[in-house]
Structure 1
């Protein structure tokens, strides 16, 4: 059981007319239920200012997982619980649908929910001894050559332990939350979402010389870009990123604060895996 929620910020991407209409409908319903609610439109070009979230006890995102991920990164340091209503395709992170939101919200607003605490990756890129770029990743960090099928060479350390050098199309560093995304498509494992571990999954490694592995996030992971004859990209959650250069170090660790996702009491991980097609019953 959770605390009673009275102040909600409803977030949707600008230009999404379905989400815009539903946001107004939900806001009016929340007012009728005696709650405070306001609507915020976001865009990929610019994150909302910090004062956008002032006083919020819950953020309700309307859209797909991409909308929820962008909001989660923006409020990572604030520890505001997030609940997703899926208007996209897969919607693995979202707990509500357009058909059941009233029943789900009624229970959640009176405290009938659990909090799912998810590991978040905090990372920075070091170039010639200086921090060049930093951020958070909710799902994954991906080091790759983009659309070109060219191999890059990466060295990896876990703390002081050298994990190895790999030639591959790229490398995925995935949280348990993101294990059901790009990582599993590249042959990585599904991981229970509330574990404090990460998955290291190579993308098409040369001669299969590096196998996917799961490790506790107790030490920093360091990935050194050894060499590449094409541009190398670092992307976070498949949404934003930066171009890397040979000699760059990507250093990833477990963020100080977890992502707080609100989970209705009727939500179960095994059921979600089945409903999204990750597990098929014979």
Structure 2
């Protein structure tokens, strides 16, 4: 048994009308169950949102994976457990659906759940020796071309080990959680989400000179932007973007805080892979 959940914040992104309608209904239902509940609305581009977070036992997000990732980065340092109710499309990170949330939530509120601890990346951009950007990524840090599909040249290091140069459309530094996202679409491996490793996946590498790699967390990843024939952009979870210049260094390492995802006792990783089409069951 985990901790009984008494105060729940129900979060959604502005513009998702379905989630907005559900948020009020879910909050009202939680109050009927004897919980304290309030609704938090935030815009996708906001990096923080004001709420009485110190009282919250659970953040219930309404939307898809993007909504969960956005809120996860905002409350990461507070250690608040997060549970997703899928009102989006894929919803690989979410555990509840619009048809089963009333059935599943009572047990979770009573403490019948597990906490899945997930690695989060801390990302820093150094430009001429000064910090130009910092942030977190739950899924991945991507260094890629902007609007033009032209190759860029990157120098990749793992601690003191020079892994080599890559000429490609870009490079993905993914967490195990993010291995089922952009990384696998680019040819990277599926990695069990609770492992503590980096996943490096090049995007359309020239002559396949740089292969996908899985590396332990003992050292940090450094990516040096050597050359670019078009704009180079760094994105975190596909949501936060910053333009990079030749000569910039991007560092990725383990964040001090882990993401805490609430997992119902009936939820299993292999079953989710099958339901989302990653594995084929007999």
Moved over 3 A (4+): 47-52
Following superposition, the deviation at residue 198 of structure 1 comes to 1.2
* 8 Å Cα contact 2:14-2:44 kept in structure 1: no
Following superposition, the deviation at residue 50 of structure 1 comes to 4.5
Q: Normalization by structure 2: what TM-score?
A: 0.98
Listed as ranges, the gaps of 5+ residues in structure 1 are none
Alignment length (residue pairs): 282
Counterpart Cα distance in 2 of 1:50 and 1:219: 35
Listed as ranges, the gaps of 5+ residues in structure 2 are none
Counterpart Cα distance in 2 of 1:135 and 1:71: 13
Following superposition, the deviation at residue 26 of structure 1 comes to 1.1
Following superposition, the deviation at residue 47 of structure 1 comes to 3.7
Counterpart Cα distance in 1 of 2:6 and 2:123: 34
3-state SS in 2 of match to 1:179? helix
Q: Normalization by structure 1: what TM-score?
A: 0.98
What are the within-5 Å matches in structure 2 for residues 159-174 of structure 1?
A: 159-174=159-174
* 8 Å Cα contact 2:49-2:74 kept in structure 1: no
| 1:190/1:6 CA distance change after superposition, 3 Å | same
Aligned to 1:14: 14
Mean Cα displacement is larger for which, 142-151 or 106-115? 142-151
| 1:211/1:78 CA distance change after superposition, 3 Å | same
Following superposition, the deviation at residue 20 of structure 1 comes to 1.4
Following superposition, the deviation at residue 15 of structure 1 comes to 2.2
Counterpart Cα distance in 2 of 1:272 and 1:145: 32
Mean Cα displacement is larger for which, 230-239 or 143-152? 143-152
Aligned to 2:140: 140
Aligned to 1:237: 237
Aligned to 2:3: 3
Counterpart Cα distance in 2 of 1:15 and 1:82: 21
Counterpart Cα distance in 1 of 2:50 and 2:200: 33
What are the within-5 Å matches in structure 2 for residues 126-275 of structure 1?
A: 126-275=126-275
Mean Cα displacement is larger for which, 18-27 or 61-70? 18-27
Does 1:96 find its partner at 2:96?
yes
Deviation track 1:130-164 (CA, whole Å, cap 9, x = no partner) reads 00000000000100113422111101111111111
Aligned to 2:277: 277
